[in-house]
């Protein structure tokens, strides 16, 4: 019922929550002393709180964490694939990064770290927005952790100025820990953190993008192309139409003829 959907689910707290946070901080390679300094129950509880049930939620830290996650993943990829550190490799690195910072993948990272049972939100959001919440919480945790470490642990230099940067390194360590066990293009890194072998183009680029690249390459021959997303029996796919109006009298769309060169998901 609507009333049940508006009910609040309060994420697990107490000792189990403390152990979750401690396990994450250990993945960041923090010493016991530093863990004691940055461990703030109220802050981390806020990170696992959705806006649907409290104004003290993760939104601000999610904004900060988006920057941390993007930078960490970009840096990680350049280390895992050193052969791509060249002008020709930038396009591939960009595609790899796009794939890894997607809502789907970041949600997988958060779930692999057992975030889900600890996120407080209304039951409606938990039933309908699981992936976005997991992604947001993952980014928020990184944003809060970086800021907390920089504020608590940074020391003034000789000129009396406070410097930051240690927080990013800890966040990077956590993300590296997750990515080291995540297959990218079907492979895992070796003991030196480098992935050997060739990258699989079909795993690197989604079907819809590959199809578009093919049509763009042969634009002079095929002509103008239109894409139409079609939902059938809870499945969504893409139909492709080319401008063959001068060559045919029957069209699926005004002036357009349906092509059957391939298929793929519309997502």
* Catalytic residue check, 7: no
Which of these is catalytic: 62, 66, 135, 150? 66
**DSSP characters for the chain?**
-HHHHTSEEPPP-THHHHHHHHHHHHHTT--HHHHHHH--HHHHHHHTB-TTT-SSSSHHHHHHHHHHHHHHHHHHHHHH-GGG-SGGGHHHHHHHHHHHTSHHHHHHHHHHTT-GGG-BEEHHHHHH-HHHHHHHHHHHHHHHHHHHHHHHH--B-TTS-B---HHHHHHHHHHHHHHTTS-BTTB---TTS---S---HHHHS-HHHHHHHHHHHTHHHH--EEEEEEEETTEEEEEEEE--TTT-S--SBTTBEE--S---B--
* Catalytic residue check, 40: no
Which of these is catalytic: 62, 108, 136, 139? 139
Q: Which are the catalytic amino acids?
A: 66, 139
């Amino acid at each position: 019922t609507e009333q049940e959907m508006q009910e609040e689910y309060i994420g697990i707290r107490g000792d189990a929550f403390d152990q979750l946070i401690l396990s994450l901080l250990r993945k960041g390679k923090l010493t016991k002393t530093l863990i004691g300094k940055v461990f703030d129950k109220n802050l981390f509880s806020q990170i696992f709180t959705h806006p649907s049930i409290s104004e003290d939620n993760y939104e601000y830290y999610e904004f900060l964490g988006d920057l941390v996650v993007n930078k960490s993943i970009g840096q990680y990829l350049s280390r895992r694939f050193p052969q791509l550190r060249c002008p020709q490799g930038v396009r591939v690195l960009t595609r790899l990064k796009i794939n890894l910072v997607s809502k789907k993948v970041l949600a997988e990272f958060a779930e692999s770290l057992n975030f889900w049972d600890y996120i407080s939100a209304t039951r409606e959001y938990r039933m309908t927005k699981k992936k976005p919440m997991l992604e947001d919480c993952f980014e928020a945790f990184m944003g809060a952790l970086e800021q907390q470490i920089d504020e608590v642990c940074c020391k003034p230099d000789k000129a009396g100025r406070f410097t930051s940067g240690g927080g990013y390194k800890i966040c990077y360590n956590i993300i590296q820990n997750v990515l080291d066990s995540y297959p990218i293009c079907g492979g895992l890194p070796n003991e030196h953190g480098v992935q050997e072998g060739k990258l699989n183009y079909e795993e690197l680029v989604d079907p819809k993008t590959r199809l578009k690249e093919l049509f763009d390459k042969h634009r002079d021959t095929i002509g103008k192309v239109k894409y139409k997303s079609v939902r059938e029996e809870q499945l969504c796919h893409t139909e492709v139409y080319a401008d063959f109006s001068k060559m045919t009298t029957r069209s699926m769309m005004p002036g357009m003829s349906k092509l059957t060169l391939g298929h793929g998901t519309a997502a």
